[in-house]
Amino acid sequence: MPSPRRASQSRTFRGRIDGGARGNPGPAGIGILIEDDQGGRDEIYAFLGSTTNNVAEYAALLVLLDRCIRRRAARLVVHSDSLLLVKQMQGEYRVKNPRLQELHGAARRLLARIPEVSFTHVPREENREADRLANQAMDERQSSEPLPEEVARLLFKGIQQGFSFGEGG
């Protein structure tokens, strides 16, 4: 694995994200694989408790965006097997669910802080690593690291304003 210093200097990232819930709603987890243009690679997984699949998909996106902002990304390509999330983030589908509207709004605010972001829908077979990480979180009911404070606050307390994603880091 590249040294943290080398990886932190990169400004172009590719993120593979997945969120899942067993039972929908049920025990949920997220998996995120971040690769940078220097060969750096981060794997993140987190157990979310009980929530829906769509909330988990958005949680994975929020963690990815937060991490890339903290690393001063200039460009990010997001790969997800959630057609709903990709189409909503591209503005092709409306966000009707109030809970998803809240998460979508938070993601939009974060997107504004990265100069270039694109979304690509990929088949599940091409998202195996992120899926493996999400399943690891659900199987172990553990996280590789704490969720960013703002993401945790949004997911677990429903706070709708006052986000400072990635600031000061």
21 located within any domain: yes
- pTM equals 0.88
Distance CA 122, CA 109 (A): 24
Q: What is the pLDDT at residue 12? A: 97
pLDDT at position 98 is: 94
Q: Tell me how far CA of residue 45 lies from CA of 98, 116, 151, in angstroms.
A: 26, 25, 14
Q: Is residue 85 part of a domain?
A: yes
Asked if residue 30 is part of any domain, the answer here is: yes
Domain containing residue 131: 4-151
The whole-angstrom separation of Cα 29 and Cα 47 is 4
Between strands 75-80 and 41-51, the pairing is unpaired
Q: Give the residue from 99, 97, 107, 92 showing the smallest Cα distance to 15.
A: 107
Residue 166 lies in a domain: no
Q: Give domain status of residue 168, yes or no.
A: no
Encode the chain (169 residues) as per-residue pLDDT tens digits.
444 444 445 599 999 999 999 998 999 999 999 999 999 999 999 999 999 999 999 999 999 999 999 999 999 999 999 999 999 999 999 999 999 999 999 999 999 999 999 999 999 999 999 999 999 999 999 999 999 999 999 998 643 333 333 333 3
Question: What pLDDT is attached to residue 14?
Answer: 98
Name the maximum alpha-carbon separation found in the chain.
43
Query: Which pLDDT value is given to residue 52?
Result: 96
Q: Kindly state whether residue 39 falls inside one of the protein's structural domains.
A: yes
Structurally, how many domains does the chain consist of? Answer: 1
In a domain, 76, yes or no: yes
In a domain, 59, yes or no: yes
The domain that holds 19 is classified in CATH as 3.30.420.10
**pLDDT attached to residue 80:** 98
